[in-house]
Amino acid sequence: MGTAMSKLTSKTAIITGGASGIGLAIASLFAREGAAVEILDRDVEEMNRAVQGISAAGGTAAAEICDVTDAAAVDAVVARIHARRGRIHILINNAGIAHVGNALTTTPEDFERVQRVNVFGAANCLRSTLKYMAAEGGGAIVNLASVVAVMGIPDRFAYATSKGAVLAMTYAVAKDFLDKGVRCNALLPGRVHTPFVDGFIAKNYPGREAEMFEKLSKTQPIGRMGAPGEIAAAALFLCSDDAAFITGTGLPVDGGTITIR
């Protein structure tokens, strides 16, 4: 689908959690910019819809069911993608789950569940793709962290812990694979309006959806939630040659939340 001016022509991009929300926005934009998009997700219906949508718009996309917490499954899926495409140029570690609770109200089981997806899942995908990137001339990795990686917000004990780990992981990979041509950066989104957010509000604040949506929007200095496409645009920048001089960075895309709240 890409033209001569496209930023990701002939690149293969793996996007975890790419069937909905921010992941789908990234997958769609990357396909428009010429990438062959490989979506890893767990919802077959959403995956099929995403691939059909991208293909209908003229892009190249495929999807595979994958539980990122299963290291062997991730290895197998990434190997299949590599065999199919010949190279893996880009990894977007986007798959993640949230949790509401502080250090006293978060059960050990919930704490572990969040780390398994957000931290172990990201590590599994890094391990599987870096094997190829390091041996074949490098690549670009973007990990989805969060503003909570560097600032406190109420009742996000497990989630904040996981995103802090993702940011530290980003620094480690950037350092360790610099000489292999791999750039690794993180995005630190503020609150972004996705179906996930709508579901989160409906589950935790039944009957107060409109009130909570307004309240959560106003917690950000810019006065609104971000759009998935705005996060996707930042991911595109970090994965393109425009960001060739950028690695080991956590880029806030947060409406001023971290610095001017």
Q: What is the pLDDT of residues 187-204, one digit of tens each?
A: 999 999 998 889 889 998
What dotted CATH number matches 12-190+228-253?
A: 3.40.50.720
Residue 66 DSSP symbol: -
End-to-end CA distance of the chain, in Å?
A: 40
Of the listed ranges 66-70, 80-84, 129-133, 201-205, the one predicted with least confidence: 201-205
**pLDDT at res. 52:** 98
Sketch the domain layout of the chain as residue ranges.
Answer: 12-190+228-253, 192-225
pLDDT at position 105 over 70: yes
Question: For tokens 């109420």, what's the residue?
Answer: 154
**pLDDT at res. 3:** 56
Mean per-residue pLDDT, 12-29: 98
The reply to whether 205 belongs to the active site is no
Each residue's pLDDT tens digit, 241-260 = 999 999 999 999 999 999 99
Rounded Cα distance, 111 and 208, in Å:
27
The maximal CA–CA distance of the chain, rounded, in angstroms, is: 55
Each residue's pLDDT tens digit, 143-152 = 999 999 999 9
Each residue's pLDDT tens digit, 42-77 = 999 999 999 999 999 999 999 999 999 999 999 999
Helix or strand run (H / E) with residue 252: strand 250-253
**pLDDT at res. 204:** 86
> Which residue out of 132, 159, 171, 205 is catalytically annotated?
159
Amino acid (one-letter) located at 83: A
Mean per-residue pLDDT, 74-99: 97
Rounded Cα distance, 56 and 4, in Å:
20
Closest to 245 measured CA to CA, from 140, 151, 146, 152:
140
Helix (H, G, I), strand (E, B) or coil at 54: helix
List C-alpha distances in Å: 173 to 12, 162, 211, 235, 257. 20, 16, 41, 17, 26
Question: For tokens 């957010």, what's the residue?
Answer: 197
Closest to 59 measured CA to CA, from 37, 85, 26:
37
Helix (H, G, I), strand (E, B) or coil at 3: coil
**pLDDT at res. 261:** 79
